[in-house]
A and B are shown apart, each in its own frame.
Chain A
Amino acid sequence: MEFKFTQENLERIKQEFKKYPEKQPVVMKALYIGQEQNGYISNEVIKEVANLLEMPSEEVLGVVTFYTMYHQKPMGKYHIQICTNVSCMLRGGYEIWDNVKEKLGIENMEVTEDSIFSLEEVECMGSCGTAPMIAVNEDYYENLSKEKVEEILESLKQTN
């Protein structure tokens, strides 16, 4: 499927060019915008970004695969990220992780059949003082318990 940035997004990327002496540093932002528009980073997004920034598409692919926040397949509408690193683990991170896995019936990096939820076990998100935590898309939820997470999932289901 062909991919072209919308005029508005193209403008956003052009704004970024002002920050750097070269075009290549914009690749991270351009990929974010591509992911936002397309839902995930397809080969076409990579090609389009490469064209725009005058980079070999292999190099853009290299950037995509290096960072965990770029997804090369569609994720759920609500991408649930659960931290299980030490500080969260000490305060029940794994109980939450196991419980959510069971509730949604999916494993790490999988998507529910209705495409509403996807799940990711993430490394430390910087919420050690408010552990355990989960993030839904861009929003942090902190100081959680198993029950509170169930409530969050339930309310997300409702709003959908």
Chain B
Amino acid sequence: MEKIVLPEIENFHQIDVYVEQGGYKAAKKAFEQSSDDIIDQVKKSGLRGRGGAAFSAGLKWSFMPKTTDKPKYLCVNGDESEPGSFKDRQIFEDNPHQLIEGTLITCYAIGAKVAYVYIRGEYHKWIKLMQKAINDAYEKGFVGEGMKETFGTNFYCDIYIHKGAGAYICGEESSLMNSLEGKRGYPRIKPPFPAQNGLWGNPTTINNIETITNIPKIIENGWEWFAAIGEPKHPGTILFGVSGHVNKPGIYELPSGTLLTDIIYNYAGGVPGNKKILCVIPGGSSMPPLRGDQIEGVKMDAESLKEVGSAIGTAGIMVMDEDTDLVKVLARITQFYHHESCGLCTPCREGTGWMEKVLNRILNDEGSYGDLDLLISIANNIEGNTICALGEAAAWPVRYMITRFRDYFEERVKKEVMITVKNKVHSMRQTAFPLDDITD
């Protein structure tokens, strides 16, 4: 199977090797067509965003206004902070020029003159690698004003890296824009959507690193070629990041729709000690977890995962064997969302903290039956009541982990049901007047 995003070519990250292998020809091909044609091809290719929402990339581009005096912007989202996902750093390291070429084509399609590649601050090494690639591309005239001469076109655009500083929320597109504007990374209320009102109030498109890296190959080989790879409703290859209890964790680029069991057992080498699988989170820590006995026959694409009650997310597959303490896992996941909640919306700010407290109570063997329902109730009250999707990201793991592993969690809480005192005043009176006194 041909690799699209991470081809196995030696030194492909070097500009000379990339050009030798036909690099930057797709950009030339794109600039010879109209921008509408490019958007149309990407739409028909069926390429869906790889950042979590799996939204049609071409459709997203088509929301950008055609007639406007305002400058337009492209943001390439490399904030990559979802626990379990580590694919973008691989692209920065192994295939930065295809990412740059994809950025050029996208800028051309949406009419942007400037693209910002937002990279999380912890990725110092990968920021340097990416900056080197961008500098090389500038030098060879593939980016910036030099493009006019290199490609023989009137169009040119600049690419800049914006370094984050450690905030999960900035991977959310509107938070990313606020962060880029030099503000606290709070999300924005939608509508207005970024295509109307994005960076500095101008039309903006935000795409994931992996999404953009697919673009040159779609233009080069045609949308029909791309649409025929993997599952028709979610075509192309996906970078599956396998982590946790597997023998060979890592990134595997495979066609969408590859069986989850195939990825775990064949590519990632199975579970150490041939243990049974207790739980798999298929798309990064915010996606609903699956029971070990649910994963047989599950295909890894957006639609197939939806059918089994989960989602593709960022395709970060976390595998947990039968000896894993799921309460600890869920408590840790919730601790993460509590830590990363930006604090703007009350349900998320408070709810994530409550869920963490209750889970730690269960972890310390002090939980009760009622705590399980309490957790689900908190999760339900967060979901849908927040400005951005961090609310859902925090609520889903809790709700689905507890409902799908109810028996497991019930084992971990006290059997007796806590009886709540209906009339607090009355109960206090009883303490004030000891029972003996009254009965006398």
Interface residues of chain A, those whose CB is within 8 Å of chain B, are 19, 21-22, 24-29, 31-32, 53, 55, 59, 62-63, 66-70, 84-87, 89-91, 122-131, 135, 138-140
Contact = CB atoms under 8 A, between A and B. Distances in A.
A123 B83 contact: yes
Given A85-B336, A87-B244, A129-B250, A21 B167 contact: no
A139 B241 CA distance: 22
Given A24-B181, A87-B318, A128-B318, A123 B336 contact: yes
Interface of A is mostly: mixed
A68 B165 contact: yes
25 contacts: A19-B116, A22-B182, A24-B181, A25-B162, A27-B182, A28-B165, A28-B182, A32-B165, A53-B182, A59-B183, A66-B185, A69-B165, A85-B336, A89-B332, A90-B244, A123-B83, A123-B168, A128-B86, A128-B241, A128-B243, A129-B241, A129-B242, A129-B243, A130-B249, A131-B249
Contacts of A140: 125
Contacts of A130: 86, 249-250
B86 A63 contact: no
Contacts of A90: 243-245, 318, 320, 324, 329
Tier of interface size on chain B: 35 or more
B109 interface: no
Given A66-B184, A90-B245, A138 B80 contact: no
Interface of B: 71, 80-86, 88-89, 116, 120-125, 160, 162-168, 179-185, 200, 241-245, 249-251, 281, 285, 316, 318, 320, 324, 328-329, 332-333, 336, 339-340, 342
Nearest to A62: B184
B165 A124 contact: no
B165 A70 contact: yes
B163 to A, nearest CB: 7
A53 B328 CA distance: 45
Contact of B166 (A25, A53, A62, A69): A69
Given A21-B200, A129-B249, A124 B82 contact: yes
